[in-house]
Amino acid sequence: MIGDVQGCDEALGQLLEKVGFSRSRDTLYLLGDLVNRGPLSLAVLRRLTALEGSAHCLLGNHDLHLLATAQGVRKPHRSDTVGDILSAPDRGALLDWLRARPMAMFEHGWLMVHAGVLPQWDVALTLQLAGELEAVLRSPDWVDFLHHMYGNEPSQWQDDLAGAERLRVVVNALTRLRFCSAQGVMEFDSKDSAATAPEGYMPWFDVPERRTRGVSVAFGHWSTLQGAGSAGVLPLDTGCVWGGSLTAARISSPGKVSEIISMPCAQTCKPGMN
């Protein structure tokens, strides 16, 4: 399992060499945010698409932002670095490949998401809701969904949510979540370490009644954790694009990791929103 690459293709290539990756023997699970802010987003997508069934990649918030920008739903941000993809001759094929990626996976005893899981969701419900979102992204109506994807409301999951509101809660939890209340109300303004939770909120993985407690969960998105989570959770975004490192975890047995391998990232981007 590998954390947020964010266009750092050089570090990804070096990390794969360091772990001795063989596409005929090994399987990669990348936890989303494949592109943006780093210098070589196009190279990352071409590398991963060439690996075909040896690489399974989640969608993160930056990947969804690329899809929205490509369709004119969002304007490019001044710190975006996806112009090479948008002007590439194989742009269409790469974007189609990207929107066909999953939103969550459960493999080898690990629940894998980009950002987080709401406390009301168990593994089965997480995968079901991820599947609903995946179906829309792969449908002819996917661009219409992008127009309704953005926003912080509803801020809490309810079983009777439907339509755009239901999907918005799902995408926000799976790709943006850091802090929430014990009741699962999401908070999106704070992006610092787990110790800086706003009053009334906590890291999503510290909610006492979380229904995925007891399940091994791997995620990215939260570089300020610096790889430090709590029992049963494994944060793998170690801030490669911000001058940190790109980190992989070798799965040894169901729900277990035998080794953590990191590769320093030579590319240091200007501080910005993650």
Q: CATH no. for residue 32?
A: 3.60.21.10
Residue 251 forms part of a structural domain: yes
Mean pLDDT over 164-184 rounds to: 98
> Mind listing the pLDDT tens digit for each residue in 105-160?
999 999 999 999 999 999 999 999 999 999 999 999 999 999 999 999 999 999 99
Average pLDDT over residues 23-44: 96
DSSP of the chain, one letter per residue? -B---TT-HHHHHHHHHHHT--TTT--EEE-S--SSSSS-HHHHHHHHHHTGGGEEE---HHHHHHHHHHTTSSPPPTT---HHHHT-TTHHHHHHHHHTS-SEEEETTEEEESS---TT--HHHHHHHHHHHHHHHTSTTHHHHHHHH----S-S--TT--HHHHHHHHHHHHHH--EE-TT--EE-S--S-GGGPPTT-EEGGG-TT-TTTTSEEEE-S-GGGTT---TTEEE---BTTBTSEEEEEEEEETTEEEEEEEEE-S-BPPP---
Give 227's pLDDT tier (boundaries 50, 70, 90): confident
In a domain, 4, yes or no: no
Residue 3 lies in a domain: no
273 in a domain, yes or no?
no
Q: What pLDDT is recorded for position 267? A: 61
In a domain, 272, yes or no: no
> Given the structure tokens 């993985």, which residue do they identify?
205
Question: Where residue 195 falls among pLDDT bands split at 50, 70, 90?
Answer: confident
Q: Is residue 135 part of a domain?
A: yes
Q: Is residue 191 part of a domain?
A: yes
Structure confidence at residue 272 as a pLDDT band (50, 70, 90): very low
**Taking the model in full, what pTM does it have?**
0.95
Mean pLDDT of the chain, nearest integer: 94
Domain count, the chain: 1
| Averaged pLDDT, 30-42 | 97
Residue range 46-82, pLDDT digits in tens: 999 999 899 999 999 999 999 999 999 999 999 999 9
Residue 194 has pLDDT above 80, yes or no: yes
Residue 2 lies in a domain: no
Q: Which residues constitute the domain of residue 128? A: 9-264
Would you say residue 269 has pLDDT above 90? no
Provide the pLDDT for residue 228: 72
* Residue 197 CB coordination number (10 Å): 18
